[in-house]
Structure 1
């Protein structure tokens, strides 16, 4: 797994010209990131431990600290031991990723990698590969538009949770995060057409209205009011820096824990002048719970409660 594979940056070949509205320009993008994010208690709790981080003092740069985000996982091909997509741990037997990641490897042996940071190093003591039993793709996935690009990964044996490996929180409803900053994690391309990062990277993006995203991706989105997608943008930054299928997370100020609000799906150009399209996880909550139940494991996902 210490070799690397180029990640495809999906290009939408259909769509209208789009220019960024002036009110979405955010070149300064002052980071509010704190070493306390994902640590300590919030004003509300979760029904199980989730979305925490492991941090020291933040010095700067975009590389995540080793096991800073225990929720992060990746898909690895057994044939060539290459990490080809990102994923997010949601229970001891389940993870979420994108259909366009799993469908290419249908019928092949793949693993879920957890506890990883540097793909060229063996120093992550808790890094492990879990054989994947099966993947469950959304029934209404469209391979032309990548609509409903969500898949459930089921591993054969229980993932050993620890301080460095654990689940992300799920939302308990569809969230309106327009104008909020979210974070994308992955080992993806550092530039469009460039090389893959050997270390886990993170990038902050802004959620923009679906109606704006529709202007550049009308065929893919289908409607300016579509709720199954979440669009993100930042000038000269993109989810190209995160693997396809990887997490788009939001720090819930009430819990001080990271919530999985999106999955990296596709866009027209990595770090270009058009938005990226992500799966809106909140929209698919009923589907996620239904498919987890169908696997036979009595697992519960973690989410915010009304308890303090």
Structure 2
């Protein structure tokens, strides 16, 4: 992140007993995470604070507030919020909801003056490169030639074979833009989680005996017979692939009421998965990936439309972009922390995860290994293909827990990771 912060403090006593004038000059590069610290549940009384936001010459500053309360009065007295967009000063008093302003050029000044009244601010500032207030909506979707993704070896090795793709061996070369049906064995680690022969969630193979999925898929199902289906892209397959019963479900203190906190689970299988060219594990990493604004791939059998009841018969894939965690947390009322984040958020203008995709993998092609690493798994959102990002569980956050569960349930099983950093 490229931010320069200059703080000037000028203390004075005036007619209104204002305690201090605090000014911050903040540079936000287009593509940087949003500035999310204009968030005060109770702002100090009798204070003046000023933010000067500057971005690239080609960019603009977007200022959004879900709620801004500066006083109980609609008419300004000793308190106000002033937003200078480069063309005019916009003054606000009282309470404002869903306030959104975009600068005319590459600079915006925000000044807040409080009085004895309670002040509350919940705002977000972004550097944007287009007309949308949210930068993730301004980034154009482009066609990606993925024909060599996961096929040839990269410059670095992994501790065991993982994350390869079978596009060349088992299907014609293909280009992907947004999403479509996968090849038969394109993603060897994909698993369908089934109950009574019906697939209801997705998962990913991480060892011969373990499948990674979401805890909201498994909660309250510990006494129900579940099975995983691997080695096929057909959701209802009975004559191909491997079907293995789940022996044990291990969850990580899942809490639905706290924004689906710790939404991750491991299925321990009764029998060993037979690894082959067509079936194998995805790679994992202990490092939170630096992939803001990059494409990652989502895979699943979920609904193609939110209000269309049937699921597709064949596995589908789509490219979605990673949304910076500050913007995503703001969109979900700051329900989850942006410090050492346990989430990865994604969005696309016309493709998304939907019902039936839960627990399924989101994978990133590591350019050093040319192998797919699972960076996230599908958790929750506000519907399918909406203006809001989807929230996914960050797998790296739980890396040590994953290793411990595997060690506790099968000492011979090992996950696969990149050798070296």
TM-score by length of 1: 0.87
Return the match for 1:180 from 278, 294, 297: 294
Contact 1:26-1:235 at 8 Å conserved across structures: no
> Equivalent residue for 2:323?
208
For structure 1, the residue ranges without an aligned partner over 5 or more in a row are 1-15
2:256 is aligned with 1:143: yes
> Equivalent residue for 1:12?
none
CA drift of 1:296 comes to: 3.2
> Equivalent residue for 1:132?
246
**Which structure: greater strand fraction?**
2
Aligned counterparts of 2:268 and 2:398: Cα–Cα separation in 1:
17
2:310 is aligned with 1:192: no
Residues 215 and 64 of structure 1: is their aligned pair in 2 closer, same or farther, counting only changes over 3 Å? same
* Over 4 Å off, 4+ runs: 16-20, 120-123
CA drift of 1:154 comes to: 0.4
Q: How does 1:152-301 map to 2 (within 5 A)?
A: 152-194=266-308, 195-218=310-333, 220-221=335-336, 223-225=337-339, 227-240=341-354, 243-301=357-415
Contact 1:146-1:220 at 8 Å conserved across structures: no
> Equivalent residue for 2:187?
69
- Matched residue SS, 1:179: coil
CA drift of 1:228 comes to: 0.4
Aligned counterparts of 1:134 and 1:87: Cα–Cα separation in 2:
15
Note the aligned Cα RMSD (angstroms).
2.1
Q: Which has the higher contact order (CA 8 A, sep 6+)?
A: 1
TM-score by length of 2: 0.64
2:114 is aligned with 1:114: no
Q: How many residues align?
A: 286
Deviations 1:240-297 (A, max 9, x none): 2761000000000000000000010000121000000000001110110111111133
2:158 is aligned with 1:46: yes
Aligned counterparts of 1:184 and 1:111: Cα–Cα separation in 2:
22
For structure 2, the residue ranges without an aligned partner over 5 or more in a row are 1-65, 67-97, 101-131
> Equivalent residue for 2:32?
none
- Matched residue SS, 1:88: strand
Contact 2:376-2:392 at 8 Å conserved across structures: yes
